[in-house]
Structure 1
Amino acid sequence: MEFFLIRQNTLAQLNEQAAKIEGVEPEKENAHNLTVRAQSLLDEAQKKLDEKIAADEKAARVEAKLLEIKVVPESVAALAQAPQQEIPQDDQDVLKRQEDATEVDIGKLQEKLGQDSTLTAIKTVANTICHNTQAANGSLGQPKTQLQQRTVIQFNTNPAKPPFFIGLTRQSGNWIWADGSYYDANVSGDIIDKGGDCAVVQQQSGFNVNIMSQSCTTAAYYTCQTRPCTTDFYCV
């Protein structure tokens, strides 16, 4: 009788343990399923986040590219006809000297000016691009007067006010334009010498513009111009 009770108790204990195990295993299985589901949701969320970041980066690149696009001013003539008091006093004497030597002809000015680049390049590459892409044997821009220099920077909408290569180089100690003429500081203003043998034009504050020397192998934006049509050079 005693043996029977012990056996009965043992069976009861085994049944109780089996019931506990049966109850625990489903809980473990449910926990595993929840973990898998949670990981799946995390992976999906991470994928969407990565796609959002990629889209934002692409939008930022597009926006930056749009900032480089040059907008032609509504009227170059409006710049030339600006009231005298709007021109910095330091430049008025230079402009006064130009009146006797150069007649400002807006039609010719527009004819000569080409376009500003939206990408940077070293001087030799910039010069080749201007020569190959501008009609009538183009070259790097030669803004010899203060008015022309201001017109060049008017095509630029980059808030950083970057420098632009122009067709001016130092040869044997002399600054010479791409057309072979010598630089005249009385007409074009003094060059700020920074050690290079190439030249750039860069906007300062307001309409103030400076021509500065720069290394020919330092990349910069550039401005191109076409050869103007004359009785000696017929444009088709």
Structure 2
Amino acid sequence: MRLLSVTLLAGLLAPTYAQKVKVMLLGDSITELTCWRPLVWNQIISAGLASNIDFVGTMSDLQAQCSRPSGFDPNHEGHSGWQAYDIARNNIVGWVQNTKPDVVQFMLGTNDVNIGKRNAQSILDSYTTMLNAMRAANPRVKVIIDKLIPTSWSDATIEAVNSAIPGWVQTHTTPQSPIVIADCSRAAGFTNAMLQTDGVHPNAQGDQFIAKQIGPKLIQFINDVRGGAIS
């Protein structure tokens, strides 16, 4: 009986997450067609976590100009031209129910502004709809929301979304399902020199900036999931 009790205690004290941590990188062309994803993978390699994670998603493309690190997992949910409004209403439920990610990182809203001509509140409402779907699939999901990179013309609606994100996070974060911000905004140091000639997508310098903002927060959440931490 004593041996059984010790065995049970050892099981309770063992790491609570033995499977790979499932990470969904969600977004539009700034996720699909640029090169920050493999740069984040390099950070994950440096942290010794490459064998512990599984990037999930229905997409697996990587542009030819991007380096492909050893063992790079290309899966993602970056969809060029797509809006947060449509993803929230038509896609997110299926994506997260099929994969049940432990961590979701997303940057969405640029197309809502440039194509959909939506206002900041509409974009924030879409974030809330997506968050609800994520938590329905996994009540302990950890979320990284990116402040949007600027356009070269400093669109006022993008700036309004970025200004509203901290309040949205404060309203919706919970100990069980925390939300943190990766600040990729102009206020954090993203400049027009980090944009391609279209004034919308990051160039190589912009990719480096985005990766530096996202990578450490992603690594922290991966470690939290692996350690069974709540926050």
TM-score (norm 1): 0.29
TM-score (norm 2): 0.29
Return the index of the structure with the highest Cα Rg: 1
